[in-house]
C-alpha cells in the first residue's frame, strides 16, 4: 500500500498529516481522541506556565466560502497550564491510546516571556516526563495576547529567544527530543532571508538542535464586522484576531516554499494553513513540507478528518502519473 509516513526531525510519523496546536487540543479527552485517530502525531495546545482562561467571548468565528470553512480567532491562549500537558498520567494514557503505538507527542509552549519559556524547559529537564515527550514546539506567533506583540516579528527579541531556547540543556540531555518553532506568516523576501539567517546557525548540521519550523500560525489583525449589529464579530482586542483556514492556504504554501529554499536541509518545514483535503496536503508537500498540520478543519470536522485526508492523499499517490512524496528530499514545484 502507499506509505504516507515521514521522518520529521528524527521522529517517525506513520502519517505525515497531524493536528496543529490550537483547535481541540486543550483537554486530556481531546488529546486522547487525536492519539486514537489517524493523525501522525499528537500536538498539545500551546502551554503557558500557569493555567489561562483566555480572552472574553465571543472570540471565534467561522467564514464560509462555498463548502470551505475558514476562521478568525482571538482565543488568547486558553490552556490548562504546563503541568497538565506534561503530567505522567496524561503521557501514560496517550501512550496507551496511541494508534499506532509509538505515535509522537509534541508539547507546544507559548510562554508570555522568554523567561517563562525557559522556566518550562527547566521543569521539563527536572521531570521524568521528558523521556515520553517527542518534541517541544515553541510558538513565537500568537497574535492574540493583549499587550504581547508577536515575538516572530520582533527580530532582535526573536534572535535572543532562538539562541537561548536552542541552548537549553534539556535538548543536549535528551538528544532525541526534537525542537521546533511555530512561525508567523511573513510577506516579503527580505524577511524570509532574515529569519532563515537566524535559524540556519541552529541547524543540526551546524552542531545545533533545531529540527523543524511550522509555516505558519494564523495571520494576525484580521477583522470581521457584523453589518446587522454594526459591531465587530469578536470582542477581544478591538475585534481583531488571527485568520486561518483555506483563505490563508496559498500564503502558508508560499511561506513553506520560501523557507524550504532558504533553510539548511536538516531543518524540516511543516506546512500549516488551509488543509482540508488530501490535495491540499499534497500541494503543501510539493512546496517543500515534510509534514502537514490541520487546524481549522480539525476544529470543524473533528479528529476523523485525519483519516479522510490521509486516504485522499493516498488515492492521489496511486495516480499512474507522478505522485511521489517529495517533501524534505528537496522537492519543489516545477516552475511553469
Q: Is 16 a catalytic site residue?
A: no
CA 161 to chain centre: 18
Helices (H) and strands (E) in the chain, counts: 11, 16
Range in contact with ligand DOR (rule: CB under 6 A) among 73-81, 97-105, 121-129, 306-314: 73-81
Of the candidates 142, 215, 276, 305, the residue annotated as catalytic is: 142
Instruction: Determine if 120 is a binding residue for ligand DOR (CB under 6 A).
Output: no
Instruction: Determine if 152 is a binding residue for ligand DOR (CB under 6 A).
Output: no
- In the bound state with ligand DOR, the residue whose beta carbon lies nearer, of 104 and 242, is 242
Distance CA 219, CA 175 (A): 33
SS3 (DSSP) at 335: coil
Distance CA 5, CA 315 (A): 14
Instruction: Determine if 137 is a binding residue for ligand DOR (CB under 6 A).
Output: no
A 10 A CB-CB count for 319 gives 8
Instruction: Determine if 19 is a binding residue for ligand DOR (CB under 6 A).
Output: no
Range in contact with ligand DOR (rule: CB under 6 A) among 140-148, 206-214, 245-253, 254-262: 140-148
- In the bound state with ligand DOR, the residue whose beta carbon lies nearer, of 22 and 40, is 22
SS3 (DSSP) at 28: helix
Question: Which phi and psi (to 5°) does residue 291 adopt?
Answer: -145, 170
Distance CA 324, CA 225 (A): 43
Distance CA 321, CA 326 (A): 14
Instruction: Determine if 129 is a binding residue for ligand DOR (CB under 6 A).
Output: no
CB of 29 to ligand DOR, least distance (A): 18
Question: Which phi and psi (to 5°) does residue 117 adopt?
Answer: -65, -45
Residues 218-257, one symbol each (x = binds ligand DOR by CB under 6 A, - = not), give x-----------------------x---------------
CB of 257 to ligand DOR, least distance (A): 22
Radius of gyration of the chain (CA): 19
Among 15, 19, 144, 293, binds ligand DOR (CB under 6 A): 144
> Could you tell me if 176 and 146 are in contact, meaning their C-beta atoms sit under 8 angstroms apart?
no
Among 141, 209, 287, 310, binds ligand DOR (CB under 6 A): 141
Residue positions annotated with a catalytic role: 142
Binding site for ligand DOR (CB under 6 A): 22, 46, 73, 75-77, 139, 141-144, 217-218, 242
Amino acid at each position: 500500500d502507499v506509505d504516507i509516513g515521514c521522518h520529521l526531525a528524527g521522529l517517525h510519523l506513520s502519517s505525515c498529516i497531524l493536528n496543529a496546536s490550537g483547535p481541540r487540543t486543550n483537554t486530556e479527552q481531546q488529546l486522547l481522541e487525536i492519539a486514537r485517530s489517524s493523525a501522525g502525531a499528537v500536538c498539545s495546545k500551546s502551554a503557558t506556565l500557569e493555567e489561562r482562561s483566555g480572552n472574553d467571548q465571543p472570540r471565534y468565528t467561522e467564514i464560509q466560502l462555498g463548502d470551505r470553512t475558514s476562521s478568525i480567532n482571538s482565543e488568547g491562549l486558553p490552556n490548562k497550564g504546563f503541568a497538565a500537558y506534561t503530567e505522567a498520567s496524561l503521557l501514560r494514557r496517550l501512550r496507551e491510546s496511541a494508534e499506532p503505538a509509538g505515535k509522537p507527542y509534541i508539547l507546544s509552549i507559548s510562554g508570555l516571556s522568554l523567561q517563562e519559556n525557559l522556566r518550562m524547559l527547566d521543569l521539563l529537564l527536572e521531570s521524568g516526563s521528558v523521556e515520553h515527550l517527542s518534541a517541544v514546539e515553541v510558538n513565537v506567533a500568537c497574535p492574540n495576547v493583549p499587550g504581547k506583540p508577536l515575538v516572530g516579528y520582533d527580530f532582535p527579541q526573536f534572535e535572543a529567544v532562538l539562541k537561548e531556547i536552542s541552548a537549553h540543556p534539556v535538548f543536549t540531555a535528551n538528544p532525541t527530543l526534537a525542537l521546533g518553532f511555530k512561525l508567523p506568516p511573513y510577506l516579503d523576501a527580505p524577511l524570509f532571508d532574515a529569519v532563515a539567517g537566524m535559524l540556519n546557525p541552529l541547524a543540526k548540521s551546524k552542531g545545533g538542535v533545531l529540527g523543524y519550523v511550522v509555516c505558519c500560525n494564523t495571520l494576525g489583525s484580521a477583522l470581521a464586522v457584523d453589518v446587522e449589529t454594526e459591531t465587530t464579530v469578536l470582542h477581544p482586542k478591538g475585534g481583531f484576531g488571527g485568520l486561518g483556514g483555506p483563505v490563508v492556504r496559498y500564503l502558508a504554501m508560499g511561506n513553506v516554499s520560501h523557507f524550504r529554499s532558504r533553510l539548511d536541509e536538516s531543518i524540516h518545514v511543516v506546512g500549516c494553513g488551509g488543509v482540508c483535503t488530501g490535495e491540499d496536503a499534497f500541494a503543501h508537500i510539493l512546496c517543500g513540507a515534510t509534514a502537514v498540520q490541520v487546524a481549522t478543519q480539525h476544529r470543524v470536522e473533528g479528529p476523523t478528518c485525519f483519516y479522510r485526508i490521509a486516504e485522499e492523499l493516498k488515492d492521489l499517490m496511486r495516480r499512474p502519473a507522478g505522485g511521489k512524496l517529495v517533501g524534505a528530499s528537496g522537492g519543489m514545484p516545477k516552475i511553469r
